[in-house]
Amino acid sequence: MMLLSLQKDAKDILSSLYSSESQYGPASLRDLSSPSDDALPVMTLDLSSLITDVLIEIFRYLEIRDILSMRLTSRRFQNITMLREVWLNTVHEKVFGRGLQLPGRTHPDLLAHSVSTLESLTRHAAQLSENWAQPSPTPTSVLEFDERVPNGYITQIHFLPGRAAKYLITVSSASHVISWEIVGRARRARMMAEWKTDGVILDVVVNTKEEDEAALAISTMFHGIHSVEVLTFNPQGNEDTIPVFTLLRSTTTMGRLKSLRGDLLTFYKRMGATVLVDWRTGNQGMLKRQNEPSRTLTASLAMEFCYGAVLIVTSHTIELYQKPELVPFVPSPSARLPPSEGRPLGYLEFPQEARSAAITPYVRLLADGSDPSGRTHPDRPLSILLRLKEGPRDEIRHYVLRPALFPLSPSAPDYTPYEFPPQLIQVRTANPHFYADIQINPSGRGFWVENFTAVNVGRPREHLVGFLPGERKRKGYDEGDEWETGSELIDIEAPYKILGVQHDVLKCTDCSYDDATGRIAIGSYNGKVKILDFA
């Protein structure tokens, strides 16, 4: 009752405060740091007489900019805005509550941070959100360096997840895997180590579960034999005494390496089968379509594990399966695929060929910063973005896959977490580009690369095309309510707002995006790496 009373008092006072005609606060978050006699606002309501608990509740409803502005008004408000409780509330309400992240671990231990660190991380999230919401977001800093491989051609580039975009993996000339440390606010890059392997490097994937021991997996081919190496990464390592990379396991491949999620490796085979392998135990399972597509499938483009199901996007299909049980299996001439299969839950075929696809990760932080992956049923839709070939231009399609209206128990034979087929809600044309991938993150922010050729320009110009979710239009959805057909229930389901990012990305071959820090890494065919910082 005490808390409810405080919240009511805070809302009433806040309403009175905002109904006044006072306007205060400098234009930039970076300028709001300490009180100044020259920055005192004129306020029609005296808040200094209120008890601290009520003021803390008032600050819960303020934007970060307003909290920092209040700090400028008096010594007492400065002291209150330096309380841990104020910044914990702000992180929950203004960062996690909006589907955003803090730099670092996906699920951070907030109590382990000092108050000053909490404030710094929160302000970083606010600055990034503010910049990315501009019609034309502009990088606040740019770092460019050479990968140091003679005649290097960067084929892949990856930030290691959950490490605040501090560590970067580059793959060049099909034979070099190099780790880099991005020092400070992207001021310089330090080469840490190179992993040498026999044969040709085909694919490198990083672990999407950053807390796991395995950091990345590398698929190689040597004398016609395909294998996968699973490695750890030690940020304290060096090339002399402590290895940066350590081999955990080397195993044969079951197809084209697609992802590493915890202990689970996924491979895609040309015949349309996806094989799941636990690299520690060797246990395997398989996802294989029952429908024969009308066109030859050339690639698996995106995959997401979600609430006991697996969503796969190929060059011509969107498929949903029940996650199979992993069982012991050793391939043989008579049995090349594991016997355990996931039950098909949905299948959609499209006539055009997709060049790339992206699925919005289903794990989004709750308002308290906890991990919702332990839930048995999704509470929000999945976004699926496709880039398809459509004549001389590309077409960007935005599909939405909604949670099931009447979910069964996950143990039920007919359980499915989503309603199939997905709904097409947005279409946009795009100029084609060699690098066709779409980058998207749990916040809904993302980008793709397009060619823009101006008049009297002899060669194509390349630009990033950014996007973010449209305005939230939530219509009173609560547990037990039905989904309204065609309604835009949450921000990620609203059509994306297209941005024009002001930066050329000439000679781009691959990109990586860390949403929490606002950093984009761009690799090029001349061996150069560029780091764009948008926070």
Instruction: Encode pLDDT of 67-88 as tens digits.
Output: 999 899 889 999 999 999 999 9
The pLDDT tens digits for 445-480 are 888 888 876 444 445 677 888 888 765 443 333 333
The pLDDT tens digits for 366-400 are 444 444 445 667 777 888 999 998 888 899 998 98
User: Is residue 418 pLDDT above 80, yes or no?
Assistant: yes
pLDDT of 10 reads 53
User: Is residue 109 pLDDT above 70, yes or no?
Assistant: yes
pLDDT of 487 reads 28
pLDDT of 2 reads 41
pTM exceeding 0.85: no
pLDDT of 116 reads 93
pLDDT of 255 reads 84
pLDDT of 19 reads 46
Percent of the chain whose predicted confidence (pLDDT) is above 90? 31
What burial letters (b/e) apply to 274-297, b meaning 16+ CB within 10 Å?
Answer: bbbbebeeebbbbbbbeeeeeeeb
- What is the C-alpha separation between 524 and 155, in angstroms, rounded? 8
User: Is residue 179 pLDDT above 90, yes or no?
Assistant: yes
pLDDT of 132 reads 87
User: Is residue 45 pLDDT above 90, yes or no?
Assistant: no
The pLDDT tens digits for 111-150 are 888 999 999 999 999 999 888 888 888 889 999 998 777 6
The pLDDT tens digits for 320-373 are 999 999 998 877 666 667 778 888 899 999 888 999 999 985 434 444 444 444
β-strand pairing of 300-306 with 154-159: unpaired
| Lowest mean per-residue pLDDT among 165-179, 423-437, 473-487 | 473-487
DSSP designation for 94: I
Provide the token pair at 162. 């959950």
pLDDT of 292 reads 66
| Lowest mean per-residue pLDDT among 18-27, 344-353, 522-531 | 18-27
